[in-house]
Amino acid sequence: GQQLNQSPQSMFIQEGEDVSMNCTSSSIFNTWLWYKQEPGEGPVLLIALYKAGELTSNGRLTAQFGITRKDSFLNISASIPSDVGIYFCAGQTGAGGTSYGKLTFGQGTILTVHP
Amino acid sequence: GAGVSQSPRYKVAKRGQDVALRCDPISGHVSLFWYQQALGQGPEFLTYFQNEAQLDKSGLPSDRFFAERPEGSVSTLKIQRTQQEDSAVYLCASSPFPGLGRDTQYFGPGTRLTVL
């Protein structure tokens, strides 16, 4: 099935460093979302973006919805050990048609933070 | 509990066996989604329910996969004659409103299915 192109696949960083990851698609999405998944758990929503060009922050996390509606990025500032996990981007086509809000996910970025 | 729950958390099946995976969504949530997550991949959409109606089953990989939500709350994903390629984590998500987008989907912890 279709998946978004997410990069990098993995990152190994030192505590305190900033992190950046991005996601691209060949299709337009009306909503971009970023999720975090920890071992044995389901994805948890971090940030939702609803408008092209929108820049949204949630604590140390900042995400942007690309102008073309085909890409998004997530930045994490001053990383801490509890940031460890797998980060997924997801696109949603939104109302109308037969999408019903289903999510299309990227392959994930595995983040490891060394103390 | 307040969140989405799934059972069993782990299931080991011999190839050819039938399995049934259960999802208890958040009470009152209208929308329910099933996703399949292969090892090292992001979740992929399987099917969508709005109350008891299955409005989208375009992601089900074969006719061996069947899902139901007869009373508009609990849902069951059934896989008949399991194959090794069915091994994955099966995630259930619910959201409060009909599938209009912009609704947060709350995910359960998933069921890890291993087919030997």
B35 contact residues in A (CB cutoff 8 A): 103
Q: Please give the single-letter amino acid code of residue A20.
A: S
B43: confidence class by pLDDT, cuts 50, 70, 90 = very high
Examine the pLDDT at B18 and tell me if it is beyond 60. yes
Bridge partner list, A91: A32, A104
Residue A24 at interface with chain B, using a CB cutoff of 8 Å: no
Examine the pLDDT at B1 and tell me if it is beyond 60. no
Other beta carbons within 10 Å of B35: 25
Mean local confidence (pLDDT), A52-66? 95
| CB of A41 closer than 8 Å to CB of A107 | no
Answer with the residue of higher pLDDT: A97 or B33: B33
CB contact (8 A) between residue A101 and residue B100: yes
Other beta carbons within 10 Å of A72: 28
- B79 contact partners, CB below 8 Å, separation of at least 6: B18, B19, B21, B64, B65, B66, B86, B113
- pLDDT at position A101: 84
Query: Pick from B12, B3, B9, B22: which is nearest to B76 by CA?
Result: B22
- pLDDT at position B98: 75
B55 contact residues in A (CB cutoff 8 A): 98, 100
Residue A92 at interface with chain B, using a CB cutoff of 8 Å: yes
Examine the pLDDT at A83 and tell me if it is beyond 70. yes
CB contact (8 A) between residue A92 and residue B101: yes
Distances (CA, A) of A58 to A46, A48, B21: 8, 10, 34
